[in-house]
Each structure stands twice: as structure tokens, then as C-alpha cells.
Amino acid sequence: DAGVTQSPTHLIKTRGQQVTLRCSPKSGHDTVSWYQQALGQGPQFIFQYYEEEERQRGNFPDRFSGHQFPNYSSELNVNALLLGDSALYLCASSLATGGNQPQHFGDGTRLSIL
């Protein structure tokens, strides 16, 4: 049973560039959430996608955008990268939306901004 898979594992970008991160949810899951985890901190909620729509968004600027495809996979796009965007980006999937659905996490994409 495939878990949550994320690509790439590591990414190095420079300020001002754009980046796209990808996530395939656990088999059978239809909801994808994205988190940013800075070093030494807990994951911070970016947004959640369900039925190809953004359902809820955390306190992140519009430079952070996303997309969900019909096969439930998802992308996170970040434009105009800043040094502060350096972090581990986590994708989590669950079955349907709702706060009582535990989330299954991928290994993350480590993004470094130079």
C-alpha cells in the first residue's frame, strides 16, 4: 500500500525563482494538505485541497499556490522565493475533509534558498 510520496527530495533555488513541489497521496485518499516546517519548529498549515479546490488556507501569502489533479495528486507552487522560504515542505493526505481525519505524511521536500 503506497504511502504519501513527494518529489523532489531536495531542491536548491535562488531568491526570486519559482519552484513546484509534487505530492501523490496515499492510495484511497482524496484530500491533500501542505505544510511548511522550518528548522526546529512544528509544521505550519499552508492549505488543503479537496475535489480540486482549495478548501482552507493558513497564514501564507499569495506567492504560495497549489493545485489538485483529478487523480488527487497535488502541486505546491511558490513564486518569488525568499530566503525565509527555506524549509521542509510536507504533504499530508487523508480520506475526505474534516478535522477528525488523521493525516498521513510524506517524507517532505527540503527546499534551500541561496
Partner 1 sequence: AQSVSQHNHHVILSEAASLELGCNYSYGGTVNLFWYVQYPGQHLQLLLKYFSGDPLVKGIKGFEAEFIKSKFSFNLRKPSVQWSDTAEYFCAVNFGGQNFVFGPGTRLSVLP
Q: Considering beta carbons, is residue 45 or 95 the nearer one to partner 1?
A: 45
Question: Which residue lies nearer to partner 1 by CB, 10 or 15?
Answer: 10
Which spans of this chain sit near partner 1 (rule: CB under 8 A)?
3-4, 33, 35, 40-45, 48, 50, 55-56, 58, 90, 92, 97-100, 102-108
Using the minimum distance from each CB to partner 1, give the nearer residue, 23 or 81.
23
For 67, other C-beta atoms within 10 Å of its C-beta total: 14
Residue pair 33/103 in contact (Cβ under 8 Å)? The answer is: yes
Per-residue exposure over 40-58, b if at least 16 CB sit within 10 Å of its own CB, e if not: eeebeebbbbbeeeeeeee
Q: How far is the CB of 44 from partner 1 (least distance, A)?
A: 7
